[in-house]
Amino acid sequence: MSAKLLVLGIDALSQPLLQHWARDGSLPAIRGLMDRGTSGTVSGVQGFFIGSTWPSFYTGRSPAGHGFHRIEQLRPGTYEFFRPLESPLGVGGTPFWKLASDAGRRVAVLDVPLTRLDPQLNGLQIVEWGGHDAVFGFQASRPEIVRDVLSSVGPYPLTNCDGVRRNAADFERFVAKLELAVAKKTALTLELLGRENWDLFVQVFTEAHCAGHQCWHIHDPAHPAHDPALLAAVGDPLKRIYRAVDRAVAALLERVGDAQVLLISPHGMAHYRGAAFLLDEILVRLGVSAPPGRGLRDRLRAAAVAAWRMLPENAREALRPLKARFAAGGLPRVPADVARSMCFPIPNGQPVGGIRLNVAGREPQGVLEAGPATDAFCEKLAEDLRAIVDERSGRPLIGGVYRTDALYAGSRRAALPDLLVEWDGELPTGTLAHAGGRGATVRATSAKIGTVTGTNAWGRTGEHVPTGTFVFAGPGVPATRLKAPVSVVDFHPTLCALMGLADPSAHGAVIPELAGRVGC
């Protein structure tokens, strides 16, 4: 029992680290796969590589085609936020495994991030047994699968990636749980592979994602929060997890034999960066967004924030998991008086901030006229944003400002921000809470805004980058490395082609080096 086509996702690997550790022998299974297969770089979705990556991978559509860029998004035509995965709207497009299932193929799909359960799948599906992004909690396409998983490997060892505390013992427990999670996921995958001869089997390991977010400062000696003593006590957490994943890859490759195998990390990881926490105030200072009046809810929130800041660091550390759960329970709100705002910020991630234009006829209280007036407004706003510098380094704080319409077109374009603010990628803003409780303070300055100061108080020190990596191996696949990057949206049509299927609605194209020479 095995699979004809095995897709192994390794969420948020660092491509440079993967290449380095494969070359030096630390990752022998992945190195062996590279030596006998076709490998290359994955080019992610510009501006939306944090939230849109996995939906773009499995639907073959751009963010404007599937309409998903974040777990919590602005509902088009309103000023309210909602969770699209929990709504009938969902993710636009059809996952490649659904197309295979509809064609009568037997499929197994395990822990693919940001997916909904499909009880009608011809095979089995597991959602969120173990992963970084939790929307629904652990579910499976049939109730007995849940019972089987819990009986076989038990619950996932880690309940909250962001709940890790900050001393050596805490990090050691955290990394050990991630290593155990990889081992349990491997055992589960081997068991399910052994149930039948699957036409398509998909599994995603997300442990490198969690390790990258929480432990980048331990790995990276150039990070402001790096502590050599912590590195000596824990070892390199990223290398430990990458090696655990490599052991998993070795076991799974042995099981599937000469099957076609796609190993893919559709986006990567590096130091935490970005200053989206400043965007509200910057837009207010530029006179394009008006802050809302402070009602009772705002006053209570401000009081809670003030109380939190007065707590000693050890008390904050103990309460962070509880704080995270309460924060996750509520939806964001538009931080502006929309009746007096030409635009307002909406969440899109720290490296690339999002701005929604308050367009008349599209928004309920729109004030910007569509057409030349909006174009002129965007050009001026982009100019003002690009003039802002980081006071510490003197570097431009914003690397680029992009119109989403210039990047993407699709039936769900209205679900996305209108402007994308790409922050300086060289400026680390990961919290320094690990080093004496000091946050990473950013001072943004320009002639128009004066100086805006803000602190990133979140505990992550690693953040995503749009560059990923892949290896494809199997009978008839040449051992080579592609020179040009491959778009993340091209893997969906390629996997379909490998199974003799097609999806005319996909935005991506078949990768000829992968699907043009071999077939199922």
> What CATH number has the domain bearing residue 70?
3.40.720.10
Residue 283 in domain: no
Is pLDDT above 90 for 305?
no
Together in a domain, 454 and 477: no
pLDDT at site 161: 82
pLDDT at site 160: 81
- 218-232, 322-336, 370-384: least confidently modelled range: 322-336
pLDDT per position as a tens digit, 106-153? 999 999 999 999 999 999 999 999 988 889 999 999 999 999 999 999
**Residue 197 CB burial class (10 angstroms; 0-12, 13-18, ≥19):** exposed
Together in a domain, 440 and 499: no
Q: Taking residues 441-450, report their average pLDDT.
A: 95
Together in a domain, 223 and 137: yes
Together in a domain, 423 and 472: no
Together in a domain, 147 and 250: yes
State which of 279, 302, 333 marks the end of a domain. Answer: 333
Residue 121 in domain: yes
- 30-44, 281-295, 334-348, 431-445: least confidently modelled range: 431-445
Q: Are 131 and 206 in contact (CB under 8 A)?
A: yes
Handedness of CA 239, 241, 242, 243 (dihedral sign): positive
Together in a domain, 188 and 110: yes
Overall pTM > 0.95: no
Together in a domain, 74 and 200: yes
Together in a domain, 52 and 185: yes
Is pLDDT above 50 for 325?
no
Residue 390 in domain: yes
Q: pLDDT band at residue 430, thresholds of 50, 70 and 90?
A: low
Q: Bigger pLDDT: 456 or 102?
A: 102
pLDDT per position as a tens digit, 190-202? 999 999 999 999 9
pLDDT per position as a tens digit, 391-417? 988 999 999 999 999 999 999 999 999
Residue 133 in domain: yes
Is pLDDT above 90 for 299?
no
State which of 283, 301, 333 marks the end of a domain. Answer: 333
Together in a domain, 257 and 191: yes
pLDDT at site 310: 54
Residue 346 in domain: yes
Q: Taking residues 450-465, report their average pLDDT.
A: 89
Token pair of 239 as six digits: 């290398």
Residue 278 in domain: no
State which of 333, 358, 383 marks the end of a domain. Answer: 333
Distances (CA, A) of 15 to 22, 39, 42, 463, 471: 10, 12, 9, 14, 12
Q: pLDDT band at residue 433, thresholds of 50, 70 and 90?
A: very low
Full residue range of the structural domain in which residue 13 is found: 3-271+463-515
Together in a domain, 378 and 244: no
Is pLDDT above 60 for 505?
yes
Q: What is the Cα–Cα distance from 497 to 191, expressed in whole angstroms?
A: 28
Q: pLDDT band at residue 425, thresholds of 50, 70 and 90?
A: confident
Is pLDDT above 90 for 251?
yes
Q: Taking residues 37-45, report their average pLDDT.
A: 98
Residue 520 in domain: no
Token pair of 482 as six digits: 């592609």
Distance from chain centroid for Cα 487: 16
Together in a domain, 325 and 357: no
Q: pLDDT band at residue 308, thresholds of 50, 70 and 90?
A: low
Q: Bigger pLDDT: 159 or 352?
A: 352
Token pair of 327 as six digits: 């924060």
Together in a domain, 320 and 344: no
Query: Average pLDDT over the chain, rounded to whole?
Result: 91
Containing 191, the helix (H) or strand (E) segment is helix 168-193
Q: Taking residues 337-361, report their average pLDDT.
A: 96
Q: What angle do CA 226, 231, 232 make, to 5 degrees?
A: 140
Q: What is the Cα–Cα distance from 279 to 500, expressed in whole angstroms?
A: 47
Q: What is the Cα–Cα distance from 10 to 13, expressed in whole angstroms?
A: 7
Domain count for the chain, please give it: 3
Is pLDDT above 60 for 323?
no
Q: Taking residues 455-482, report their average pLDDT.
A: 92
What percent of the chain stands above pLDDT 70? 90
Residue 313 in domain: yes
pLDDT at site 434: 42
Handedness of CA 94, 95, 97, 98 (dihedral sign): negative
